[in-house]
Amino acid sequence: MEIRKAIIPVAGWGTRRLPITKIIEKSMLPVGNRPLVDYSVQELIEAGVKDIYMVVSNVEPCQVRAFYQDNLALNLYLRERGKEDKLEKAKTLPDDVTIHYVAQDPSAKYGTAVPVALVVEEYNIDEPVLVFMGDDFIWNPGGKSSAQMLLESIKGEDESALCAIDHPYEALLNGGALTIEDEKITKITEKPAPEQVTGLASVSKYILSPSMLKEIVEYVNSNDFGPTDQEYMITDPFATYIKKGGIMRAAKVEGEYLDGGTVEGWVHANDVVAGGKD
């Protein structure tokens, strides 16, 4: 299976990481010598993605956008001082890959389903897409990436999939407990109690089929939650899709789940990546 499009939500204020996120976007916090989001970007590119739709806050300046643009002043500096060997490191995006930016108002509808719906509607997407979050990644140097394992898990047309890991329980802060029958997901329990978790946990890395994308758009557009009401959780349309007979598979991934959303997770991610000499 080939998928050429991916969505990465990176909007929001990163309130769990205040005060540093007053001046650094959460997805741009460094892990090793790269920002958090770049681990997802490079993994998706290696999996064959050519168009990445980055959902950013409508607040300027946008650090993510700046990182993936050519810095002409820096390039000139490197050439003038005979440091052409550094130009490759300064180039953060291949010429055949395009990042499209979609602005999301952080004071408007909120939740994991919203950025996906924004992209699908703005770009009229009617094909499978990969969806990765901008503040976590699976670290598996030398092995298959989570994107590769997602692609390999799809067995038929119009199927969806998500990444699954053997929890530690704290991974469920960004995912949920999975109920699986006949290699298909039948239920996702969000924020379960520890005793409810007996098998695999989901993490927010998906392949979403055209039918699933339609469910997500319908869910966001047909509900009107207020700012203090229920979030637009992407697992709600997942549940509707499954009840209607849609197939969603669990791709059990290898490697270690790393999350930069908390200080402890970010420090651990740096320890792991630095140990791997990234």
Ranges of H-type helices in 33-86: 36-46, 63-68, 72-80
Torsion-angle region of 214 (φ positive above 0: left; ψ -120 to 50: alpha; else: beta): alpha
Provide the pLDDT for residue 1.
Answer: 81
The answer to whether 205 and 133 are in contact (CB under 8 A) is yes
pLDDT value of position 66:
94
Phi, psi of 85 (to 5 degrees): -65, -15
Comparing C-alpha atoms, which of 32, 24, 99, 31 is closest to residue 68? Answer: 99
What are the residues whose beta carbons fall under 8 Å from the beta carbon of 35, sequence distance 6 or more? Answer: 27, 28, 29, 64, 67
Block mean pLDDT (10 aa), the chain, length 278: 95 88 93 96 97 92 93 94 92 96 88 96 97 94 94 93 76 65 81 66 92 97 82 92 93 90 93 77
> Nearest-CA neighbor of 57 among 130, 131, 114, 16?
114
pLDDT of residue 165: 86
- Cα–Cα distance between 173 and 176 in angstroms, integer? 8
Q: Which of 48, 41, 53 is nearest to 4 (CA)?
A: 48
Can you give the residue ranges of every domain in the chain? 5-275
Q: Kindly state the helix (H) or strand (E) to which residue 139 belongs, with its residue range.
A: strand 136-139
Distance CA 164, CA 101 (A): 28
pLDDT at position 197, please? 59
Amino acid identity of residue 88, one-letter, is: E
DSSP letter at 156 equals S
- Is residue 150 within 8 Å of 218, Cβ to Cβ? no
Q: Which residues on neighbouring strands pair with residue 56, listed in sequence order? A: 103
CATH topology of domain 5-275: Spore Coat Polysaccharide Biosynthesis Protein SpsA; Chain A (3.90.550)
